[in-house]
Structure 1
Amino acid sequence: MPQTEPAAGAAVRRLRSLPPLRLLALCVPVTAFAAVPLVFITFYSYEVGWDGIRPLVFRPLIAELLGNTLALCGTATGCCLVLGTALAWIVERTSLPWRGMWLALLTAPLAIPAFINSYAWITVRPGLDGLAASTIVTTLSYYPFVLLPVAATLRGLDPALEESARALGSGPVRVFARVVLPQLRTAMAGGALLVALHLLAEFGAIEQLRYPTFTTAIIAQYESTFASAAANMLAAVLVLCCLAFVTLEVLVRGRARTARLGAGAARPAVPARLGWLTGPVIVLLLALLGLAIGVPAYSVIHWLTYSTAGAWDLAALLPVLGTTAKLGALAAVAAVAIGFPMAWLAVRYRSIVSTVMERSTYLASSVPGVVVGLSLVTASIRYARPLYQTTTLAVAAYVMLFLPRAMVNLRAAIGQAPPTLDEASRALGRSALATFRRVTVPLAAPGMLSAAALVFLAVTTELTATLLLAPTGTHTLATEFWAATAEIDYPRAAPYAVCMIALSLPAAYLLLRQSTRGARP
C-alpha cells in the first residue's frame, strides 16, 4: 500500500499537468496556420525534386548569400546584445543623473523604422553600403529590443543576492558575471531572438544599403519569375536558419523561470558611483543618440524643407495614414488574441510538445513577407477564394509575420503570474473563468499591451506582404514611402517618413511605460 499511493499520486499529478482539450483546440489551429509558408515552400520543393534542388542549393551563390546573412545576423545581433545590455546597466545600476529621461531617449529609435534609418544615412552619406553599414544601421534600429527587457529585469532583481556575493569577497566584475548576468539570461535571449529573426527577413534597409542577403535575393527572384523554384529554395534555407536560432535561444534560456511570490528586498539596489566618469558617459550617450536619432531627424527635416511644393498633400496623406493605423490596430488585437492561448500552453504546461507548438509560430517570421504573402495568395485562391484581396487576408499575413514579437512578451507576462495565485483563487471558490478574469488578466495585462504595441509598430512599417495582399487601391505609409524612394524622390518620401515615425511614437511610449512600471523614483 505505501508503494501504490505515491504511484497513484504521481499519475494524478501527471494528468493535472496535461493541457485541457479546449486549450489544445485553440493552439493546434495556430500551429497549422503558422506552418502555411513552410507547407508552401515544401510543396514547391517536392515539385522540383532532389535533382532540381541540388544544383539550386549547392552552388557558390548560395554559400555567399548564407555567409552574408549569417554575418549580418551575427554582427548586428551581437552588437545589439552588448549595447542593449550595457545601456540597461548604465541606466538602472549607476548614478547616472535623470535616468528616466535617458531611458526614454534611448528607447526612441524604436519609433524610427530601419528602412527610414537607411534612407537617412544614404542621403547623408551617399555610397554607404556593405556589411559594416548594414550592421551599423540595423544595430541603431534594433538595440532597444534588448535594452527594454534587460532594463526591466535589472529593475526587478533582488539586490540582496548581489550584496551577499559582495559580502563573501566577490568584486564588482565577479558579482555581475556570476550573480547578475545569469538572471538576465532569459531577457537577453528573448531580445536577441527578436533581433535575429527580424534581420533574417529584413529587406528595405538591406536593399537600400546594397548588401545581398537571402531576403534580397528571394525578392529579386520573385520579381523576375514570380514563384521560381530558386526563390523557394532560398526561402527553405532561411527557414532552417530560423530553426537554428530558435533552438539556440531555447538552449540559452534553459528552464529558467522568472515568477516569484515576493518582491524580494523592499529597496532598490545601491547604484554604482560613476564619479568623474559621469561626464564621459553622458557624452557617449549623446553621441549614440546623435547617430540613432539625430541623423534620421536631420535627413527628414532636410528633405522636408528642400522642396515644399506639394510635399504635404494632405488629401493624399490622410487616407494613407488612416489605412495604416487601422491595419496595425486589427493585427495587434488579432495577434494578442491568437498568441495568448499558445503562450499559456508553453508556460503553464511545459513539455516537448508544447515547446514545439510554441516555437512553430516563429517559422513564418524568418521568411520574407513576399513569401508569406505568396503562400497566402496561393492558399486563398485554391481553397478560400472569397478571402483573396481582402483586409482579412492582409491582417492574417501580419499576424503570421509578427506573432513571435507578441509571443515573447505574452510568455513573459504569463510567467509573471504564478500558478499558485490561480490555485488560491480556485480554493476560495472562484470559477476558472472568474479566476482568469480577476487574477490572471490583471497580472498579464502589461505584457499583453506591450505585445500589442510591438505588433502595431511592426505593421506600420511592413512593406512586401502589403504589396501582395492588400486589397486593390489600398496604400500604406510604407508602400508610398518605398515608391518615392525607388524613384529617388527623397522630398516626396519625407512626409511619409514623418508620419510613420509619428504613428510609431505612441507604441514606443507604451513599451517604455510598461517596461518602467514599478520603477523606483
Structure 2
Amino acid sequence: MPETGQAQPGQRSGTRARPGVPLSCVIAVLVAATFVPLGYVAWSVASVGPSRLYELVARPRVGELLVNTIGLVVVTVPICIVLGVGAAWLIERTTVPGRSAWRPLFVAPLAVPAFINSYAWVSVAPTLNGFGAGVLIATLSYFPFVYVPAAATLRRLDPAIEESAHALGSSSTGVFFRVVLPQLRLAILGGGLLIGVHLLAEYGAFAMVRFSTLTTAIFEQFQATFNGAAGSALAGVLVLLCLVLLVAEAAARGNARFARIGAGAPRVSTPHRLGAMAIPAVVALTALAVLALGVPVWTMARWLWIGGTEIWALGDIVPSLVQTIGLAATAALATTLLAFPFAWIAVRFNGFLVRFVEGSNFITSSMPGIVTALALVTVAIRFVPPIYQTVNLVLAAYVLMFMPRAMVNLRSGLAQVPIGLEEASRSLGVSPTRTFLRVTLRLTAPAAAAGACLVFVGVATELTATLLLAPTGTRTLAMRFWSLSSELDYAAAAPYALLLVLLAVPVTLLLYRQSTRVAAL
C-alpha cells in the first residue's frame, strides 16, 4: 500500500508517495517468483554438464525441431503482417463497401483459440498436416494481433502528413510506403512479437495437425519419460529463441517517437477511392473472413448438428464449465491484485531498477507454458512436495503466465489518475489506505476490470500448463475438448469448443471497443 513521504531519487515528478516496507516485500517476492522458470532452465542446463548438453542438443532430431520452429516463425509472422496491415488499410483508409461490418469481423478470430481452429480445419480436411498446415492454422489464428493495433493506428493518424507528401509529388503507393507504413512500425513490431511468442508456445494446434515443434516435443517427452535432461535441453533452446525475439523486437523498435505534438486538427482522413478494385478488395476480405472465422463456426455447427442432443452430456459439461469458470475467475482476481504493485512502481517511479521490476514479469510470460509448468513441477517436487498436484500450483502458473495482461491495463489506468487528487485527499486528513481505496482504486477500477477480463479468457482457454499441472479429477473445458478431439470424437468435442469460444467473446468485444475508443482520442 502506498505511504506518504518525501520524493526519492528516480521518483517521477509530482509524486510524493513511495512504496512502504510491506509493498517492497511483496514486490521482491513477486519478482523472485517471476524468475523461477528462467532459473529452472538455467539450473537444469548447467547441471547437465557441457558434454552431455552438447550430445542432447546436437542430435539430428533437435536440428529438425529447431528448423521447424524457426521456419514457422519466419514464414508465419510476415504473412500475418501483410494480411493484418492490408486488411486494416482497406477497411480504414479506402472506400471498400461495408467498412463498419468488416471492423468487428476481423477482431472476432481472436475469440477462437488456435487449437479449436486446428480442430475445425482437420475436420474439414483430415489429411491436412505438416508445415503448411501449421502455417495455415497459425496465420488464420494470429493475424488479428497485427490487424487490431494497425487499424487503431491508421484511424488516429494525422491526415495532414499524407496530404503534405502528396503535395510534394509522391504517388499513393509512395505515400503508403514512405509515410503510412513507418507510422505503423510500433503496431507491426508489437503484433509480430505477440505472434512469434504464441508460435513458440503453441502446442495443441500443431499437435493436432501432426507438425512437430520444440514445444510439442517437450510436452510429448514429458508425458512419455519425464526425461529431465533432454527436456531441459530443449527448453533451454526454446528460451533462447524467446529471448532472441524479445531482443530483436526491442532493437527494431529503437527510440523513435511517433506521437503528434499537440492535439492537432480533429478531422477524419479522406478515404481512397478503389474504383474498379472495390470488387477484388471485397472478395479478398470475404475470403479471409471465411477462412479465419467461417470454417471454425461452420465446423462447430456441423458437429453440433450431427451429434444432436446426445452430445450435450450435462453431467460432464456442467462440471467442466464450473471448474473452468472457477479457475479462471480465481486466477483473474489473484493476477490483477498481484499485478497492482508492479503497475504502481512502473507508473510512479523511474530508473533502471524500476524498469527491471516492470520487465521481470514479461520474461516468464514470453516463455511457453510448457517451460513454466516444468519449472513449477520441479520446484514443487524438490522443495514443497505438498503443493504438487494441487490447485495452488495451477493458479501459480496462471499468475506467472498472464501477469502482463493485467499489468498493462492497470498501468494505463494508474497513469490517468491525477496525483493531485491523492494529495488533496491526504491534505484533508484522509489516511493513505482510505485515499487508495476511495480515490486511486476507484479511478483504476475500469482498467483493472479490463485486465481481469483478459486474464480470465486466457486462463479459460489455456491448455498446455493445465494438462501438466492440473490435479487428478480436474476437467476444464479445454482439457475435455482436447481429450475428446484426440480420440477423434469431434462431435462430442463440439459443445466444449462452442463454450470456449463463447467465453472468449467478451474479450473480443472489449478489444474492439478499446481500439475504437483509442482512435477517437
Q: What TM-score bracket applies, with the shorter chain setting the length?
A: 0.7 to 0.9
Per the alignment, residue 504 of structure 1 pairs with 504
Q: State the Cα deviation string for residues 459-492 of structure 1 (Å, max 9, x = none).
A: 2221222123233322111100111111111111
Per the alignment, residue 73 of structure 1 pairs with 73
1:302 aligns with 2:295: no
Over the aligned positions, Cα root-mean-square deviation in angstroms equals 3.2
Q: What SS does the corresponding residue of 2:106 show, helix, strand or coil?
A: helix
Q: Is the 8 A contact 1:447 1:514 kept in 2?
A: no
Per the alignment, residue 199 of structure 1 pairs with 199
Deviation at 1:199, TM superposition (A): 0.8
Counterpart-to-counterpart distance in 2, 1:64 and 1:117? 25
Q: State the Cα deviation string for residues 465-520 of structure 1 (Å, max 9, x = none).
A: 21232333221111001111111111111111111111111221122122212656
Q: Is the 8 A contact 2:204 2:464 kept in 1?
A: no
Per the alignment, residue 144 of structure 1 pairs with 144
Seen in structure 2, the aligned counterparts of structure 1 residues 81 and 365 have a Cα distance that, compared at 3 Å, is same
Counterpart-to-counterpart distance in 2, 1:477 and 1:72? 28
Q: State the Cα deviation string for residues 32-91 of structure 1 (Å, max 9, x = none).
A: 212111222223223322221111112222222111111111222222222112222222
364-373 or 289-298: which moved more?
364-373
Seen in structure 2, the aligned counterparts of structure 1 residues 157 and 340 have a Cα distance that, compared at 3 Å, is farther
Counterpart-to-counterpart distance in 2, 1:128 and 1:80? 20
Counterpart-to-counterpart distance in 1, 2:422 and 2:264? 26
Counterpart-to-counterpart distance in 2, 1:75 and 1:408? 29
Q: What SS does the corresponding residue of 1:170 show, helix, strand or coil?
A: coil
Per the alignment, residue 62 of structure 1 pairs with 62
Q: Which amino acid aligns with 1:127?
A: T
15-24 or 72-81: which moved more?
15-24
Per the alignment, residue 8 of structure 1 pairs with none
Q: Unaligned stretches of 5+ in structure 1?
A: 1-10
1:90 aligns with 2:90: yes
Per the alignment, residue 101 of structure 1 pairs with 101
Relative to the length of structure 2, the TM-score reads: 0.87
Per the alignment, residue 114 of structure 1 pairs with 114
Deviation at 1:30, TM superposition (A): 2.9
Deviation at 1:353, TM superposition (A): 4.1
Deviation at 1:15, TM superposition (A): 6.3
Aligned residues with identical type, % of pairs: 49
Counterpart-to-counterpart distance in 2, 1:54 and 1:181? 43
Q: Which amino acid aligns with 1:189?
A: L
1:362 aligns with 2:362: yes
Q: Is the 8 A contact 2:11 2:348 kept in 1?
A: no
Q: State the Cα deviation string for residues 76-129 of structure 1 (Å, max 9, x = none).
A: 222222211222222222223332321111111111111111111111111111
Q: Is the 8 A contact 1:339 1:407 kept in 2?
A: yes
1:515 aligns with 2:512: no
Deviation at 1:244, TM superposition (A): 0.8
What does 1:236-255 align with in structure 2 at a 5 Å threshold? 236-255=236-255
Counterpart-to-counterpart distance in 2, 1:265 and 1:493? 53
Counterpart-to-counterpart distance in 2, 1:101 and 1:441? 36
Per the alignment, residue 123 of structure 2 pairs with 123
Per the alignment, residue 470 of structure 2 pairs with 470
Q: What SS does the corresponding residue of 1:516 show, helix, strand or coil?
A: helix
112-121 or 293-302: which moved more?
293-302
Q: What SS does the corresponding residue of 1:362 show, helix, strand or coil?
A: helix
Q: Is the 8 A contact 2:152 2:518 kept in 1?
A: no
Q: State the Cα deviation string for residues 422-475 of structure 1 (Å, max 9, x = none).
A: 466578787788998899778876665544333222222212221232333221
Deviation at 1:414, TM superposition (A): 6.0
Counterpart-to-counterpart distance in 2, 1:250 and 1:188? 12
Per the alignment, residue 234 of structure 2 pairs with 234
Per the alignment, residue 190 of structure 2 pairs with 190
Q: Which amino acid aligns with 2:194?
A: L
Relative to the length of structure 1, the TM-score reads: 0.87
Q: Is the 8 A contact 1:112 1:501 kept in 2?
A: yes
Per the alignment, residue 487 of structure 1 pairs with 487
Counterpart-to-counterpart distance in 2, 1:405 and 1:506? 15
Seen in structure 2, the aligned counterparts of structure 1 residues 397 and 206 have a Cα distance that, compared at 3 Å, is same
Seen in structure 2, the aligned counterparts of structure 1 residues 301 and 208 have a Cα distance that, compared at 3 Å, is same
What does 1:110-509 align with in structure 2 at a 5 Å threshold? 110-256=110-256, 262-308=262-308, 310-343=310-343, 345-346=345-346, 349=349, 351-407=351-407, 413=412, 417=415, 422=418, 448-509=448-509
Q: Unaligned stretches of 5+ in structure 2?
A: 1-6
Equivalent residues, number: 507
Deviation at 1:224, TM superposition (A): 1.7
Seen in structure 2, the aligned counterparts of structure 1 residues 348 and 243 have a Cα distance that, compared at 3 Å, is farther
Counterpart-to-counterpart distance in 2, 1:260 and 1:26? 38
Seen in structure 2, the aligned counterparts of structure 1 residues 493 and 520 have a Cα distance that, compared at 3 Å, is same
